[in-house]
Amino acid sequence: MVKKASATIADPRDTKAKDTSTSSQNSYDVIKYESRVFHESSPQHLRMMARLFGMNAPKASKARVLELGCGVGGNIMPLAVLFPEAKFVGVDLSEVQITEGKKDIDALGLKNIELTHMSISDIDIDFGEFDYIICHGVFSWVPKQVQWDIIRVCKENLSKHGVAYVSYNTLPGWGVVSTIRDMMVYHTKDFSDPKEKVSQAITMLKFALENQTGETNHWKVALEKELKILTNTTADYVFHEHLEENNNPMYFYQFIEMANKAGLKYLGDSSLASMYVGNMTAKAADTLKGLTNQVHQEQYMDFVRNRRFRSTLLCHDSNNLNFNLSAEKAFEFYLSLNSSVKPDFDPTLEDWTKEGPRSFNNGDMVANDRIIALAMIVLMEKNGHRISANELVTETTKRLGWNNELAVHAMLGNCVMELAMRGGIFLYDGPEHCVRTISEKPEVWRYAWHRAEAGNILVNVDLKSARVDFFYAEFAKLLDGNRTKNEAIDELKKNLKKLKVAVKANDGSKITDEATIDGEIEAFALKALDYFLAESFLVA
């Protein structure tokens, strides 16, 4: 049965501060949001999207970047490491998180980033001009006036060809979820401890679900879906996503109307594939492709998909945009193949002199021309590493045994853009920052081994997080570019013995033989090194 709280606990709604935005933000002092990095909000990704639609946004390497609601700075700090000539500023209303973030900045010795404890509402035009403004996970969780302040800052403090990124909860997807949230908030209103609130919120959902009947019960389906999401995430997410005082989802078109009133317009979504009507069912695509207004088209797509979250890119309304992507656009970017794309054939046994369709992903994707199929294999063999579109043309031409690249160039233009819009290929603004071979003195990039000192959630140079085990984190700290591979492995052995870390066999029994332990550690280290290489952690 659902546990009841003591009646002596005050209702938090009776003790909220006069400034509701301050009350909401101070909850982050109580239960800290885990420091995260959001690749899709990075300036190099935003620049790629801007260039794709015809706007030449500033290069990330020397840009000025502002993050609204930065927390401890976990989203922009790795960017500051990656781009030492750029300037990063973060503001947040949680003094606790700003203080913690400053400690990380000092530990990393960074001079190009500053975190400031202040309200978004206090930012004015004198605060400075920025090429990129990021506001992730804030907009839906603040009062209406602060929402307008976010839009105002995105207008007043954004450079002429700059890009603003704002994420928010959307309707219709949040329609039923809002009701579930109301239930969670009502049940937990008398609990003061944040962890207890989260626990009780989940308990309430389970209680409601356990008492549903009927296989076609739509409320049961909704509860099951939300419970699955919330039980597979962290407590801080549950608390700040569902139990905050403010959570105000809106329709996509309503957000764009707000932006338009301020002199901003829609540049795109952070995910190119989500903008493409061709990813809908054939019937929906045929119906919606006649809509020439991009916002209208995507709003109907949201209705059909029941979308619940968006990351929208905005720019000044004076910029000219073109949503009709030409084949030649593809050759302006670097590419990598989505790792989920797999051939339904053995590439090493394939006869590339023969024409004919080749299927991928169990027939879900078909390349009707051998040029396209081979290009996809060339990208697949890069194991997630990126190459330029022009390099792809050259490599594919060589593999075909041809001397002239024109036919390959012509074929790949349309193919690459189509695959990018379908999510099969990812586009990038420039080359990658990692290495593709293990050097004499391997080096895990600085921000990753800094994170390894604090825990086991590392961030690679592509700004993607990875949760690794204790051993990987310990080894990462030793790969600082000052040791050879063997020196790092020897140091790892010493450190693990000092920590009295048990090494176990496959059957779970503890290994006690010294030589066997050393062999197991070395084998693990070599595996970890291959992982760091493949997952873009190693730099020159």
441 Cβ contact list (under 8 Å, min separation 6):
481, 482, 483, 484, 485
Give the pairing of strands 87-92 and 64-68: parallel
Mean of pLDDT values over 420-432: 94
Neighbours of 432 (CB within 10 A): 18
Give percent of the chain above pLDDT 70. Answer: 94
Give me the chain's average pLDDT, please: 89
Q: pLDDT: is 127 or 513 the higher one?
A: 127
pLDDT score, position 512: 82
CB 47 within 8 A of CB 134: no
For the cut 90, the answer to whether the pLDDT of residue 21 exceeds it is: no
What would the two tokens of residue 410 be? 């012509």
User: What H or E segment, with its residue span, contains residue 23?
Assistant: helix 20-30
For the cut 60, the answer to whether the pLDDT of residue 78 exceeds it is: yes
Omega before residue 172 within 30° of 0, cis: yes
Could you tell me the end-to-end alpha-carbon distance of the chain, in angstroms, rounded to an integer? Answer: 58
Q: Among 2-16, 97-111, 345-359, 484-498, whose mean pLDDT is lowest?
A: 2-16
Distance CA 211, CA 233 (A): 24
pLDDT score, position 26: 54
pTM for the full predicted model: 0.88
CB 75 within 8 A of CB 66: no
Cα 15 versus chain centre, distance? 35
pLDDT score, position 34: 65
DSSP string, 479-524: -BSSS-HHHHHHHHHHHHHHTT---B-TTSPBP--HHHHHHHHHHH
> Measuring CA to CA, which residue among 44, 41, 46 is closest to residue 70?
41
pLDDT score, position 35: 66
pLDDT score, position 441: 95
- Could you tell me the pLDDT band of residue 195, with boundaries at 50, 70 and 90? confident
Q: pLDDT: is 511 or 471 the higher one?
A: 471
Q: pLDDT: is 501 or 300 the higher one?
A: 300
For the cut 90, the answer to whether the pLDDT of residue 184 exceeds it is: no
| Residue 90 buriedness (CB in 10 A; 0-12 / 13-18 / 19+) | buried
pLDDT score, position 427: 96
User: What H or E segment, with its residue span, contains residue 336?
Assistant: strand 334-337
Mean of pLDDT values over 389-404: 94
Mean of pLDDT values over 204-233: 86
CB 64 within 8 A of CB 85: no
Highest averaged pLDDT of the listed ranges 141-150, 408-417, 489-498:
141-150
| Residue 317 buriedness (CB in 10 A; 0-12 / 13-18 / 19+) | middle
pLDDT score, position 285: 93
pLDDT score, position 31: 59
For residue 281, report the phi and psi dihedrals to the nearest 5 degrees.
-65, 160
Return the exposure string of 161-192: e unless at least 16 CB atoms fall within 10 Å of the residue's CB, then b: bbbbbbbbbbbebbebbbebbebbbebbbbbe
Mean of pLDDT values over 402-411: 92
Distance CA 304, CA 255 (A): 18
Handedness of CA 416, 417, 420, 421 (dihedral sign): negative
pLDDT in tens, 295-310: 999 999 999 999 999 9
To the nearest 5 percent, what fractions of the chain are helix, strand and coil? 50, 15, 35
pLDDT score, position 209: 87
Mean of pLDDT values over 280-298: 93
For the cut 50, the answer to whether the pLDDT of residue 23 exceeds it is: no
Mean of pLDDT values over 15-29: 42
**How large is the C-alpha radius of gyration of the chain?**
25
For the cut 90, the answer to whether the pLDDT of residue 124 exceeds it is: yes
For the cut 60, the answer to whether the pLDDT of residue 377 exceeds it is: yes
175 Cβ contact list (under 8 Å, min separation 6):
none
For the cut 50, the answer to whether the pLDDT of residue 13 exceeds it is: no
- Of how many residues is the chain composed? 540
Q: Which residue has the tokens 């207890």?
A: 196
For residue 523, report the phi and psi dihedrals to the nearest 5 degrees.
-60, -40
- Could you tell me the pLDDT band of residue 27, with boundaries at 50, 70 and 90? low
Return the exposure string of 58-89: e unless at least 16 CB atoms fall within 10 Å of the residue's CB, then b: bbbeebbbbbbbbbbbbbbbbbbbbbeebbbb
Return the exposure string of 225-258: e unless at least 16 CB atoms fall within 10 Å of the residue's CB, then b: ebbeebeeeebbbbbbbbbbbebebbbbbebbeb
pLDDT score, position 18: 34
Q: Where would I find the H helices in 211-320?
A: 218-231, 235-242, 252-261, 272-275, 282-288, 294-305
Reduced to 3 states (helix: H, G, I; strand: E, B; else coil), residue 404 is coil
For the cut 50, the answer to whether the pLDDT of residue 4 exceeds it is: no
pLDDT score, position 33: 59
pLDDT score, position 312: 98
For the cut 50, the answer to whether the pLDDT of residue 9 exceeds it is: no
Q: Among 37-51, 418-432, 442-456, 476-490, whose mean pLDDT is lowest?
A: 442-456
Mean of pLDDT values over 137-165: 96
